[in-house]
Amino acid sequence: MGLLIRGAAVLTMADRNRIIDNGEIAAEGQYISHTGPAGSAPDRDYDRVIDGHGMLALPGLVNCHTHAAMTLFRSYADDLPLMQWLEKKIWPLEEKLEPEDVYWGTLLCCLEMIRSGTTTFADMYFHMNQAARAVEKAGLRAVLSRGLIGAAPGADKALDYSRRFVRDWQGAAGGRITTMLGPHAPYTCPPDFMRRVIELAGELNVGIHIHLAETRTEIEDTGRQYGKTPVALMDGLGLFELPVLAAHCVHLTAEDIRILAEKQAGVAHNPESNMKLASGIAPVTALLAAGAVVGLGTDGAASNNNLDLLEEMRSAALLQKVATMDPMALPAFTALSMATVNGARALGLPDVGLLKPGCKADIILVNLQRPHLCPRHDPVAHLVYAAHSADVDTVIVDGRILMEKRQVLTIDEEEVLFEVQKRADRLTGK
Ligand SMILES: CSC[C@H]1O[C@@H](n2cnc3c(O)ncnc32)[C@H](O)[C@@H]1O
Ligand SMILES: [Zn+2]
């Protein structure tokens, strides 16, 4: 019964920086039942025994902010600032999206994430029934929200859709799918609309995923209109009394940082998207020092342009070092915690992101037998500073193997690439 991984170096993330050399992990159903040294797992007939020699086993990575189906727009609009990118390029194309486009775009996102070691992601987009179908098929874990633009004509309908979406998908796919409401940002969701969203989230008992304090323009416009920072504006509306996932949080005052930390809002830091759109550098070191819950995200593939969290960890660590001129800022273990256990906390998933009994059996095996990972002084530093997504060998979610020896078992890769190219060509008028 169950699954046994033996012979791997095991990084549980439960003990600071502790690695069990030649360890064992047992899983029963969706949960980890045991972690320990060689020979310590219960002696029973396992359905599957995986040889982990030469591998590092760790919790699957958690991507705290993306727009999965934006894989359709990868490399369509680059080298632009956020508002020009959205208004001139992305939003006109999103108007043309069909529900099936979102299914295939999300499936491509899932494929890319599985192949780079991500097992959980938080998504905000349109046609979310289709995104949920794709997640169900891929076998990943996801926190899904229907994006809401309060200032648009369809805002009421979008709220109704969200209500139905939460009813239909909360806890679906064996608990792998959870839901939130997704008001896009303070500049597209005015206070009256935000009040309705906050009330609905309370009624449905779900959290709220929002873009917050991303650009200097947003800070200036909010200040001009409301005399407050975006964080203070949202705090005044009662947003942080609910579980919140706030993406970006680049431009923050000391008071904003205090609020986010005190309210234990989840912050999704997206260093590569912030660099590419030249939005700025989030004060991650200050947020962590204040006790905030900070995870890592890629943002969508149209502003990154990949969904590789290994790369994102490296960027996060390097960016804080250069921003603070302190090489000790954001050390490797902190970056890895953001991409695993702390990211899971930011998404309200307390039993994800750790390899310990009772936690979800979301496990990845990274092949350490590679030239760029030799010699093996510090596997955590290897993961953050040297590993590639191609080093991810095996991916397991809920005790189910999604990728083995780099073969994805749940998705037909050729079919997805064909469908996405066809749909991207239609959307861009080719
Ligand atoms: C309402 S669904 C999500 C909405 O967000 C857009 N989007 C993608 N990346 C960003 C970003 O970095 N900041 C703000 N908005 C972003 C996406 O295109 C959808 O329209
Ligand atoms: Zn975003």
43 and 75 inside one domain = no
Q: Are residues 368 and 339 in the same domain?
A: no
CA of residue 67 to ligand 2 center, whole Å: 6
Question: Which of 162, 181, 211 for mutating ligand 1's site (highest number of atoms within 8 Å of CB)?
Answer: 211
The residue whose CA has the least distance to atom 16 of ligand 1 is 86
Nearest to 390 by CA among 111, 140, 117, 118: 117
Task: Tell me the residue range of the domain where 389 lies.
Answer: 3-60+353-408
- Does 242 share its domain with 384? no
Residue 430 lies in a domain: no
Predicted confidence (pLDDT) per residue in 278-327, tens digit: 999 999 999 999 999 999 999 999 999 999 999 999 999 999 999 999 99
Question: 76 and 193 in one domain?
Answer: yes
Q: Whose CA is nearest to atom 19 of ligand 1?
A: 125
- C-alpha 184 to ligand 1 mean position (Å): 7
**Nearest Cα residue to atom 20 of ligand 1:** 91
Number of domains in the chain: 2
314-352 b/e (C-beta count within 10 Å ≥ 16 → b): bbbbbbbbebbeeeebbbbbbbbbbbbbbbbbbbbbeeb
Which residue out of 71, 86, 197, 209 has the highest number of ligand 1 atoms within 8 Å of its CB and is therefore the one to mutate? 86
For 226, the 3-state DSSP assignment is helix
55 and 73 within one domain: no
Taking a 5 Å cut-off on Cβ, the residues next to ion ligand 2 are 299
Same domain, 41 and 99: no
| 85 and 231 assigned to the same domain | yes
**What tens digit of pLDDT does each residue of 325-343 get?**
999 999 999 999 999 999 9
In the chain, the largest separation of any two C-alpha atoms, in whole Å, equals 66
pLDDT of residue 1: 83
> What CATH number has the domain bearing residue 305?
3.20.20.140
The answer on 377 and 362 residing in a single domain is yes
Report if residue 211 sits inside a domain.
yes
Q: Which residue reads 């159903």 in tokens?
A: 29
pTM for the complete prediction? 0.98
Both 262 and 244 in one domain: the answer is yes
If asked whether residues 55 and 94 sit together in one domain, one would say no
Whole-number pLDDT of residue 380? 97
**Separation between Cα atoms, residue 147 and residue 124, nearest integer Å:** 5
CB 130 within 8 A of CB 106: yes
